[in-house]
Amino acid sequence: MNTMIANLRKRYHYSWVVLKELVKTDFQLRYQGSFLGIAWSVLKPLMLFCVMYVVFVRFLKFSDGTPTFPLVLLLGISLWNFFAEATSMGLSAITGRGDLLRKVDFPRYIVVVSATIGALISLAINMCVVVIFCIFSGVVHFTWRVLLLPLNFVEYYLLALGVALLLATLNVYFRDIQHIWEVVMQALFYATPIIYPLSMVTGQLGQHYGPMITKAMLLNPAAQIIQDIRHNLIAPETTQTVWTEFNHVGYALIPIALTLVILAWGVSVFRKHSRKFAEVL
């Protein structure tokens, strides 16, 4: 057993060192020359939250009528920013490191992983802010469900990593993919219940089509995870999830299965084409 552990450490030590240095360098370069520096990790989602809150909650009345909705909105924006940042940074990770890939021999996947971990660090900072807001708001009462949050975040990271690996591979051969992905992300943003509660879907479409569309939206892995985190952290009584909308556990497991399929697909495609990256770039 000790021999196996020693072999694993020896095999992955170099990769671990490279990963740490890439994450450190990327995070430092992200805010280099900025007056506020790392504070932008907090300020950007807060400023976006203020805009969304004024426009969609105050003027357009997008709300579920509960005092927790502003916190639900802030949490949703923070979570979506992670997915958008992880996939967009992962998409350009290989093409942006072309010189390094040609000069240094190391596992190519580390470049994509380092980009997604950088987004994960920003999410961790944002989550601290969300929790502080929850504590001082006085409207959130934490339950035992917070123990499920690590599983939710692991699933979310695996989903983002799988998508990032696919996009990074495609971007090496088809540079138009970055422009296409921007459009896709805009469509996904409005198709995911981030700025509006799922109860509005039923309210707008009626009892005939509303529940069916709601269930279809929750089969989207990103929507399922965001709703699960909202449910487990802030509002278990009012947040609709795939577990509360489907009576059969098999249907409820579809988004999780899709996450694993996307991850496996991303890893497979990346491994198949990574050997040729240096040549193509």
First to last CA, the chain: 42
Kindly state whether residue 2 falls inside one of the protein's structural domains.
no
The whole-chain average pLDDT of the chain stands at: 83
Domain coverage including residue 48? 22-280
Q: What is the pLDDT of residues 16-25, one digit of tens each?
A: 777 777 787 7
- How many separate domains does the chain show? 1
Kindly state whether residue 7 falls inside one of the protein's structural domains.
no
Q: What is the pLDDT of residues 164-199, one digit of tens each?
A: 999 999 998 888 898 999 999 999 998 898 988 888
Give CA torsion, residues 103, 109, 114, 116, to 10 deg: 140
Are 48 and 55 a contacting pair, CB within 8 Å? no
Kindly state whether residue 151 falls inside one of the protein's structural domains.
yes
Kindly state whether residue 50 falls inside one of the protein's structural domains.
yes
- What is the C-alpha separation between 72 and 7, in angstroms, rounded? 46
Kindly state whether residue 131 falls inside one of the protein's structural domains.
yes
Kindly state whether residue 166 falls inside one of the protein's structural domains.
yes
- What is the C-alpha separation between 20 and 113, in angstroms, rounded? 10
* pLDDT at residue 14, as a whole number: 67
Q: What is the pLDDT of residues 67-126, one digit of tens each?
A: 888 888 889 999 999 999 999 999 988 887 766 666 666 678 888 898 899 889 889 988
Kindly state whether residue 47 falls inside one of the protein's structural domains.
yes
Closest CA to 219 of 241, 194, 248, 197: 241
Is 117 exposed, middle or buried (CB count within 10 Å of its CB: 0-12, 13-18, 19+)?
Answer: buried
Kindly state whether residue 251 falls inside one of the protein's structural domains.
yes
